[in-house]
Amino acid sequence: MSRGSNPGTTPIRTVTTVVIGAGHAGLAMSRCLADRAIDHVVLERGEVAHTWRTERWDSLRLLTPNWQSRLPGFRYNGGDPDGYRTMPEVIAFIEDYAKAISAPVQTHTTVTSVCSTEAGYLVRTDRGDWQCRAVVLASGACNIARVPAFANLLPPSIATLTAQQYRNPGQLADGGVLVVGASASGTQIAYEIHRSGRPVTLSVGEHIRAPRVYRGRDLEWWMDAAGVLDERYDQVDDIARARRVPSLQLAGTPDRSTLDLNALSKIGVKLAGRLAAIAGDGKAQFAGSLRNMCALSDLKMGRLLDLIDAWARTSGLDDTAEPPHRLPPTRVEDAPPLGMDLATGEIKTIVWAAGYRPDYSWLELPVLDRKGMVRHDGGVVASPGLYLMGTQFLRRRKSALIDGAGDDARELSAHLASYLDSRAARIVA
Ligand SMILES: Cc1cc2nc3c(=O)[nH]c(=O)nc-3n(C[C@H](O)[C@H](O)[C@H](O)COP(=O)(O)OP(=O)(O)OC[C@H]3O[C@@H](n4cnc5c(N)ncnc54)[C@H](O)[C@@H]3O)c2cc1C
C-alpha cells in the first residue's frame, strides 16, 4: 500500500486490490490474494464479522454443522464437529480466522462509493479514499430485509420488525404475532415466539422442507458428500431461478430435531398462505396457495432425498446407512385463513422474515440489473477487475454458505491475478 497525493484534500492511498467487507467471504478472498502475493486491503464498516454481531437473533445457531465451515487454511478443530455454532461462537470463529491469516482489515471504514478511473477504481470511504486496480465486493448478500411495499398500509397499532432487528421474544408486546416467511429464519423465529406464550400465525410462501437427520446422518453431510452443494452455476438449467431459491427449512438445535411446518402446527402455530396484500381497512389477505406451496415443498424434499438415496446406492453406503425413509406430507387444515383483520388488536407484532437482499447503493458503476443485483458470470463482473463474493449460487450451490467461500475465492483470485497480469502486460507493450 502507498500514499499518493490529492492536492487540497486527504491523500489517496494506493493498493492493488480493495476487498469490501470483512465477513468470512472477504477474509477467504484476502487469504487467497495473500497466497498470490497480491497487495490488498479489506475495508469493513464495523468490526470483523459485523453482521453476525449486529443482525442476528440471540438464540440463533448455524444450521450448518461445525465441520462444515471450512475456509482456506482454516477449519474447525474442536471436539463437537456435528454441533451447531451459537452466534458468539461464529463471531469468535471468524475473528480467529482473520487473526490466523493476518488479514489486512481496516475496521470502522464504510465504503461510500466505488467508481471507475483510468487506473482502475476509486473507492471512497468515510475515512479516506483508495485507488486500486481491482475491487472485490464481499459486502454480504443479506444487507436489507425484504419487506413488501404494502407494509405501509398496516394499522399504526401494529409493531413491525425484520428478522435482522428481532433479538428475542422479550422485545415484543404481549399478544399475537404474525411471522411472514417460512424458510429457515421465519420457522425458527415463529417457534421461539410461540414458545414464549404469544399466539403465532405463520404466513407461508415458497419454502423447502428438509429433515435435519436423514438415514442416521445430518442432511448437510449427505448434501456435501453427494456433491449437491458443489453443483456449479454453469451446470444448472436456470441459474436466475436457482439464485432465488430460499434457504432450506433447517435449524441447528442441540437435539437435532426437524423444524418443519408439521412440527410448528403440532405446537399450535397457525399456518396461512403467502401474505398477498393489506387492504386500506387493515385487512391482511393471504394467498389461497398454501396447500400447493406445501405440496411443492414436499415434492422438492422428496427429489433431494431420492438423489441422496441414488448416490448412497452407487457409493456403497446403502448397506451401512439406515434405510431410506420419508416424512409424512405437510398437514394443512381444510380451510386455511384467507384473511386476517389486523385492526382488531389481536395481532400486536409482525416479524418480516421474507428474505434478504444485498445493498449496492454505493456502487457507481453500470453493473446492476433493474432489481439492483450485480450482473456477473460466476462472480466475474462485466467491469474489468471487479469481482463479487458470497452471494447465492455465485459459482456453486454452496456459495453463500461459509463453506462455499473457499472454492469461490480460490477461483476468483486466480481470475483476478490473470487480469492483473494481462493488464500489466498491456501497459508494458
Ligand atoms: C439468519 C442467517 C443465518 C445464516 N446461517 C448460516 C449457516 O448456518 N451456515 C452458513 O454457512 N451460512 C449461513 N448464513 C449465510 C451466510 O453465511 C451469511 O449471509 C454470511 O454473513 C455471508 O457472508 P459474507 O462474508 O458474504 O457477508 P457478511 O458476513 O454479511 O459480511 C459482509 C461484510 O461487509 C461489510 N460491509 C457491507 N457494506 C459495507 C460498506 N459499504 N463498507 C464497508 N463494509 C461493508 C459488513 O459490515 C459485513 O461485515 C446465514 C445468513 C443469515 C442471514
Look-up of cell digits 404494502: 150
Using CA atoms, how far apart are residues 106 and 377, in angstroms rounded to an integer?
A: 29
Residue with the three cell numbers 409424512: 328
Nearest CA to ligand 1 atom 49: 50
Looking at ligand 1, which residue's alpha carbon is closest to its atom 6? 62
Nearest CA to ligand 1 atom 13: 401
Which protein residue has the closest C-alpha to ligand 1 atom 33?
21
- Coil/strand/helix, residue 165: coil
Alpha-carbon span 163 to 147, nearest angstrom:
10
All three cell numbers of 268: 399450535
Cell numbers given for 388 = 463479487
Per the DSSP assignment, residues forming a β-bridge with 217 are 214
Per-state percent for the chain, helix, strand, coil, to nearest 5:
30, 25, 50
248/183 Cα distance (integer angstroms): 6
CA atoms within 13 A on the CB side of 356: 22
pLDDT tens column, 83-109: 999 999 999 999 999 999 999 999 999
Which pLDDT belongs to residue 4?
47
For residue 324 and ligand 1, the question of a CB distance below 6 A is answered with: no
C-alpha cell at 333: 387444515
**3-state class (DSSP) for residue 276:** strand
CA of 115 to the centre of ligand 1 (A): 23
Residue 273: φ, ψ to 5°: -75, -175
User: How far away, in angstroms, is 286 Cα from ligand 1 center?
Assistant: 31
CA separation for the pair 408, 138 (Å, rounded): 12
Instruction: State the burial class of residue 126 (Cβ atoms within 10 Å of its Cβ: 0-12, 13-18, 19+).
Output: exposed
* 34 touches ligand 1 (CB under 6 Å): no
Query: What are residue 404's phi and psi, to 5 degrees?
Result: -90, -15
**Which residues of the chain register pLDDT less than 50?**
2, 4-8
- Using an 8 Å Cβ cutoff, are 364 and 312 in contact? no
Distance from the alpha carbon of residue 76 to the mean position of ligand 1, in angstroms: 19
Q: What one-character-per-residue DSSP string does 20-52 give?
A: E--SHHHHHHHHHHHHTT--EEEE-SSSTTHHH
Ligand 1: centre distance to CA 390 (Å):
8
Ligand 1 centroid to residue 400 C-alpha, Å: 9
Q: Is any atom of ligand 1 closer than 6 Å to the C-beta of 246?
A: no
Closest of 23, 121, 32 to residue 367, by C-alpha: 121
Per-residue cell: 249: 427449512
**pLDDT value of position 5:** 43
Q: Which of these, 414, 356, 362, lies nearest to 21 by C-alpha position?
A: 362
Task: Give the pLDDT of residue 247.
Answer: 87
Q: Give the Cα separation of 64 and 397 in Å (integer).
A: 14
Q: What are phi and psi of 24, to 5 degrees?
A: -65, -30
Closest by CA to 122, choosing from 341, 385, 404, is 385
Q: Which residues fall within 8 angstroms of residue 62, CB to CB, at 6 or more apart?
A: 69, 84, 85, 90, 252, 402
Ligand 1 near 416 CB (within 6 A): no
Cα separation, 164 vs 169, in Å, equals 14
C-alpha to C-alpha distance for 352 and 198, rounded to whole angstroms: 16
Query: Quick one: cell of 35?
Result: 497466497
Say how far apart CA 24 and CA 48 lie, in whole Å: 9
Q: Is the CB of 251 under 6 A from ligand 1?
A: no
Which atom of ligand 1 lies at the shortest distance from residue 84's CA? 8
390 lines ligand 1 (CB under 6 A): yes
- Give the residue from 41, 163, 178 showing the smallest Cα distance to 105: 41
Which atom from ligand 1 is nearest to the alpha carbon of 109?
43
Helices (H), 123-201: 184-195
CB-ligand 1 contact for 43 (6 Å cutoff): yes
Q: Residue 9: its pLDDT value, please?
A: 63
Retrieve residue 54's grid coordinates: 449486529
Q: Is 201 in the pocket of ligand 1 (CB under 6 A)?
A: no
DSSP string, 220-270: HHHHHHTTGGG-BTTTSS-HHHHTTPPPEE----TT-----HHHHHHHTPE
- Return the bridge partners of 277, or none: 285
Does residue 401 have its Cβ closer than 6 Å to ligand 1? yes
Evaluate: CB of 198 within 6 angstroms of ligand 1: no
Among candidate residues 352, 60, 335, the one with its CA nearest the CA of residue 202: 352
43, 396, 402, 408: residue to mutate for ligand 1 pocket, most atoms within 8 A of CB: 402
Q: Is the CB of 282 under 6 A from ligand 1?
A: no
Cβ of residue 63 lying under 6 Å from some atom of ligand 1: yes
146 lines ligand 1 (CB under 6 A): no
- Centroid of ligand 1 to alpha carbon of 359 (angstroms): 12
Q: Is the CB–ligand 1 distance for residue 94 below 6 Å?
A: no
Looking only at the bridges linking them, the beta strands covering 386-388 and 159-162 are unpaired
